[in-house]
Chain A
């Protein structure tokens, strides 16, 4: 019912008629870039706002409530403040790398957003290896973190960056394996195909208990991969001031900050797409009237509601659990998550072999 592909197709047809192929491609790329960047900035700001509100409620506080109704414009005011702050140049820092690092982090997350399906047809690129692409691109962000830590010429930064490196390299495995479970179920790496395979039920319902285990492991490892929650060793403020971005100021600091929140959004969006049916509405078997009502809610709203739910879960983790030590962090990954994940994958392979899934 809500299919965006005719709209997109007619737009690109019009562009191709009016302009030469080069300029049509160029204009569509610019339009797409502007749309994604605007989306990125606005969503990032409001994720920060949501985090502050949720954290406040969990700590029995009110949270931001002065700027705008309910503090809605607080993060915009913060952004303006950050834009006007001085960029401090560090003596003896590696200037080139120091300036490049925030851009690497932010480019990695913008590129990952490009292949997320928001609704049917509302997807910048539908790669046939979409999951692999997102995993590869989003793990590029850690290179930016490492460079930032190294180039800052500060002990705090380099310790934070090294921790982040160890952490992301370990937890990447769990993220990949947990997603592999769903790829095995769906039989495809293309994000639109994976969503199409959930037309008759989301994988978290169709996939029996192994899908639940994969979902929980994905949530834990995904939280760790974004350097958030109980796994924020890279920026542990009580130990390392601000970790890898200690020496950054002004808008460069804001880039790191924004990228952290957008990485959280990307992790949640992938969880939504693979486990919770993406933009598909919630259906209950044989409840036809109920299903028809659910169909009327636009897919974009479904997508964002599910993503918001996963983001809320991640914020819930962050504001409940204390930070792990580095040895506990690595023990959790290598002794618990990875073996369970491998066993889980074997069980899923067996289920698929016996055709026991729906």
Chain B
């Protein structure tokens, strides 16, 4: 009986060595594969490749107001995005216009976005019922003049897209 347990223990000892070495070799296979395959490198040489650099879709560069080809946006000045913004980085300024039917209507005058205080949390985008906002994946936003970080997002002369009521 004692002999049997001894044999078992000795077997366990050598099995442990074998399993240990096998798992180490497994790990070395992974790193060895990475070493010989340059295609697995994920970092990029940034300033050299800026012409061809394609940013990822989920990268939040800056907020933009979506405009279509006729210079129409979809903002209806509900101010929800400005209220959702934790930093107060969004100011939506409305102006009143008199429509053809004689009723006054609020339309977007200026959509001001403070890039300098934005933390890119992205709360404004799902808050918009009209899906008027989007985060663009542009980069290199550093400037020497702080006032350049305050941006007006609606393009000059743009208007709200006409939707059937």
Contact = CB atoms under 8 A, between A and B. Distances in A.
Contact of A57 (B24, B27, B30, B34): B34
A321 B27 contact: yes
A253 interface: no
B41 A60 contact: yes
Interface string B29-45: 01110110010111101
A54 B35 contact: yes
A60 B42 contact: yes
B53 to A, nearest CB: 15
Contacts of B24: 320-321
B7 interface: no
Contacts, number: 36
A316 B43 contact: no
A69 to B, nearest CB: 13
A319 B31 contact: yes
B100 to A, nearest CB: 62
B28 interface: yes
B45 A65 contact: yes
A59 B45 CA distance: 16
A319 B30 CA distance: 11
B45 A60 contact: no
Contact of B45 (A57, A62, A336): A62
Interface residues of B, number: 15
B17 interface: yes
Interface residues of A, number: 15
A61 B32 contact: no
Contact of A62 (B28, B30, B34, B41): B41
B46 to A, nearest CB: 11
Interface in B2-37: 17, 24, 27-28, 30-32, 34-35
Contacts of B43: 60-62
Contacts of A62: 41, 43, 45
Contacts of B42: 60-61
Given A60-B43, A62-B45, 11 more contacts: A54-B35, A57-B38, A57-B41, A58-B31, A58-B34, A60-B41, A61-B42, A316-B32, A319-B31, A321-B24, A336-B17
Ranked nearest first, the 3 interchain pairs of A and B with the lowest CB-CB distance are A58-B31, A320-B31, A320-B27
30 contacts: A54-B35, A57-B34, A57-B35, A57-B38, A57-B41, A58-B31, A58-B34, A58-B35, A59-B34, A60-B34, A60-B42, A60-B43, A61-B41, A61-B43, A62-B41, A62-B43, A62-B45, A65-B45, A316-B28, A316-B32, A316-B35, A317-B28, A319-B31, A320-B24, A320-B27, A320-B28, A320-B30, A321-B27, A336-B17, A340-B17
